Structure 1
């Protein structure tokens, strides 16, 4: 057994709640832009004073509608300014936010609203309103529904105009640090989602220590962050609350479809994303360079960046020749990549899945350091992250200050600290299984080095045991294979089988480019090309690269390209982009059997 801890850098308030932050900001930074919202396609700043006033006016409407202290209020919306506004308004009314992914099915919405006992819901658009309306008979406790895109926020403010300020003050002060702030339903790779109860203390401990440890990235009046992750996900909430706690300017966009344009217009100093975002940036830049006849130059620049970053970790540092090449490529290539990322940022934080060492070294080598972290809903997002000044690529960093990470005898990662959740909503059995003597059992397997840097090597329940008795952690090889531009998803199989194999889906954007460059029919799909020898050879190279990271017994011997995608809509991945392995295995049982036939 091994464990590591760091002293807390932020003192969690003994009392009070998250609404204290917006009152403090208005008092100490009244004219500082703490938010930005899109108005007619342009960014409009919102000062700390203006944000507090809008939150209070919205909270008055909730109070007037009969929302009581401790009531649960559902919030179903894409990431947007109103999401943050409503979240703080719910807390100001003394209630508890229940976020719901805007992509959730009616069945999922029904379960979350029913299980949480939500008395009201604020939804984004007509589709969400219709979904909730179809469920009203099964939700007798749901009294009110407001739709953002049909003037729901304005209606709340109008109905609450006569609520006295003193009543809002009283409501906002009711919750203490140990009261629930939110119930976040885990997206769940199996079974029904569980409601993870996170308190105001959890968020103070989490966000306060993140901001203090990464202080140069959270300078008030200078720094800004663009939130494009789902706000319903705990990582998105970390971005939201940490930005308000700092405070720094926060902008919200609903997705990553037009991310390059959004980054160019908002120009954040800090980006928080998942590995797929950074993979897309790299792959898109490389594809563009190849299309422009500059693929060889890009690859040389990428190799130089990676070598330069690796040399930074050596006693002598980069050689003179490497520094010279790096300087040349900084002008030719790296500066253009910085422009794609907004032009002002030097750091990003990545979580949700492993980033991969090669990508980590590439971005640090171009002067845009991606700090990898690790966390779960139950740990209020990050429970470990790489410090800005002492990064170790290939790890997820050191424990959150004020917390402890322990590696159990069987390799499982255990967590302890004020950021760890209280338990699952009305689910004592699941809580007892996850929490033991104050330690949260993550289900992840990892190691700690001598400096307390954590590396995650797999999931206890996802370990594959081949017929030969070899234990295989699928994440390692899957992440390497998925790093290829053509690969969208990869799932390793082989439990009880004679060897390890894989199911592969293709990235539609890059498949179209590859098809055009290689003389394939226009509009050719994965279904049409899945047996194409040239395509199979390219995917085989991705598999070979993945195999280089593991032993021969763990390597993928065979793979099959699937005709369809693993999507949230198809039920094969969660909203946080995790594979639902049991669902994939069931739906593609014939494809898996074909891998082992003969």
Structure 2
């Protein structure tokens, strides 16, 4: 396993070359499955149709005078977003993807910071964008994906696309023949956070293409795969790994209608793979066991897993037949789940694999386009972030006695720098090495392990390091705990730091088992207190959770469902 050869991939230098070669190879197969009407049936859109739309829309943008300009893009995961992205990147200008969850004032701020000349948006953002248009005089064009006609403020995406097709038909090759500078800043991505704390990451075609080729050498993906696109596509994790990767390998992307529609959309699209974040997969895994428990089949399921794992040692795999009900509940075609954005509980990864659905995780950052390390589909460790990608060097900077230090990375995927922020760039990039701010170690097999964020580590009076994520993983395994946030708290009248936690009880589970409907009921605290005690027994003394608070309100999260620790601890 350790010396298993990498998968072969075709070389690409930029995304224009990638799309052109993919159309030559896969032109008559579906690139996308989209739903023209909400709740309707998936409609296939062929690779050659997609390229024609990209060429047409790019030509139309150039006809507006947007050659070499910055164009912002905001909206839900949908076909028009995908057209816009490559129509800008493959010959028009610089793309600035924005988070659709941002409030109006932050969208305006980022449009100003990025010096955007145009913005393409979905109908759901129309009111906000029209308000912004009245305040900003720097944006020249507002293009609405859902507008049927132009008005005094916005242009219709559909009409502009149609105009582009006519221009191409009449011989306009301004976009089609445009040359790409592989190493120039083509993508401007804002990291999660408020507009005051977010940084603008500068990426190039070279960064993205290096990441695509390396990633596909690690995990086998081909033109028979169908990916369900669930995560916000403006984020580089979903954009690179759940959209561009699929175009590169000839897969089909099916757009999910929302988190609650995942099981239905997996079945409708016959999806074979899905990218997700720990929160999604952990919730899915809990649901499987909750349903088994409710129907009295949990003991039978555990017995089946033992039998199946024993047979696997002899090369016999009967998981699909033995756990058909579980597979069918997830669409019946899933062959691989991939988790990222944060560390997943190793028991969840192993749990899915025991049921015959492999789940691997990777590690990345926006600044690395984004993948740094990835578990292979044929060589993995459930408690590791993965192996460094081919062509990417990973080192531990200033490791302590346990080998833990800051993870730093070097390779063709590493960003050009932070836009208009030399101070932050020089702090993050030193001699070509990107300093991630994450702590971890590399084991004897070369796997990268993440222990936590440098700024989140709790340091005791005696100099011991406590990683909140380790304790949160144990707390979140409880059936009665939905989520937790662990932090260090200074004891009154001393300089000693103790471990504290904010815990959101799973009131649905507690109500079902104990007939308790209110978090104010003192029995809820007793239930959680017992769970905390059970976790403490698994920890060394200095890591014990000494106090906790219960809360009903969900933690503030990024669009990739990571808790905004800095925001929560400010409150």
TM-score scaled by structure 2?
0.89
User: What displacement does 1:12 show?
Assistant: 5.5
Match of 2:398 in 1: 409
Which of 108, 120, 131 matches 1:134? 131
Which of 557, 565, 569 matches 1:581? 565
CA distance in 2, matches of 1:265, 1:548: 45
User: What displacement does 1:105 show?
Assistant: 0.9
Higher relative contact order (CA closer than 8 Å, sequence separation 6+)? 1
Alignment of 1:63-212 (within 5 A): 63-69=62-68, 71-126=69-124, 128-151=125-148, 152-164=156-168, 167-170=172-175, 173-188=178-193, 191-212=196-217
What runs of 5+ residues in structure 2 fail to find an aligned partner?
149-155, 400-404, 492-496
Check if 1:519 corresponds to 2:515: yes
1:227/1:161 CA distance change after superposition, 3 Å: closer
- SS in structure 2 of the partner of residue 241 of structure 1: helix
User: What displacement does 1:260 show?
Assistant: 0.8
Match of 1:44 in 2: 43
User: What displacement does 1:363 show?
Assistant: 1.1
Match of 1:590 in 2: none
Match of 2:455 in 1: 461
CA distance in 1, matches of 2:204, 2:288: 42
Which of 258, 262, 277 matches 1:259? 262
Alignment of 1:10-25 (within 5 A): 13=12, 17-25=14-22
User: What displacement does 1:399 show?
Assistant: 0.3
Alpha-carbon deviations, 1:329-366, whole Å to 9, x = none?
Answer: 8655x222212222112211111111112112111111
Which of 358, 374, 397 matches 2:347? 358
Alpha-carbon deviations, 1:144-184, whole Å to 9, x = none?
Answer: 11222224321212343553466445566322211223211
- SS in structure 1 of the partner of residue 116 of structure 2: coil
CA distance in 2, matches of 1:230, 1:485: 28
CA distance in 1, matches of 2:338, 2:33: 21
CA distance in 1, matches of 2:184, 2:102: 27
- SS in structure 2 of the partner of residue 180 of structure 1: coil
CA distance in 2, matches of 1:574, 1:250: 24
1:205/1:542 CA distance change after superposition, 3 Å: farther
Alignment of 1:492-531 (within 5 A): 492-497=486-491, 498-507=497-506, 511-520=507-516, 524=517, 528-531=518-521
Which of 548, 561, 566 matches 1:559? 548
- SS in structure 2 of the partner of residue 135 of structure 1: helix
CA distance in 2, matches of 1:98, 1:270: 27
User: What displacement does 1:513 show?
Assistant: 4.5
1:459/1:228 CA distance change after superposition, 3 Å: same
Match of 1:226 in 2: 228
Which of 234, 241, 245 matches 1:242? 245
User: What displacement does 1:243 show?
Assistant: 0.5
1:372/1:574 CA distance change after superposition, 3 Å: same
- SS in structure 2 of the partner of residue 174 of structure 1: coil
TM-score scaled by structure 1?
0.85
CA distance in 2, matches of 1:398, 1:549: 28
Size of the aligned set, in residue pairs, is 546
1:423/1:370 CA distance change after superposition, 3 Å: same
- SS in structure 2 of the partner of residue 188 of structure 1: coil
What runs of 5+ residues in structure 1 fail to find an aligned partner?
1-5, 567-571, 588-598
Task: Give yes or no for contact 1:349–1:372 (8 Å, CA) kept in 2.
Answer: yes
Name whichever of 85-94 and 405-414 sits farther off. Answer: 85-94
Which of 482, 485, 492 matches 1:491? 485
Which of 398, 404, 409 matches 2:387? 398
Check if 1:368 corresponds to 2:372: no
CA distance in 2, matches of 1:30, 1:492: 50
CA distance in 1, matches of 2:6, 2:394: 12
Alpha-carbon deviations, 1:260-313, whole Å to 9, x = none?
Answer: 1111111211111111111111111222222223344345556x38x93xx89x
- SS in structure 2 of the partner of residue 529 of structure 1: coil
CA distance in 1, matches of 2:418, 2:47: 34
CA distance in 1, matches of 2:244, 2:113: 25
Check if 1:476 corresponds to 2:470: yes
Check if 1:30 corresponds to 2:27: yes
CA distance in 2, matches of 1:61, 1:462: 47
CA distance in 1, matches of 2:481, 2:184: 44
User: What displacement does 1:31 show?
Assistant: 0.8
CA distance in 2, matches of 1:537, 1:168: 71
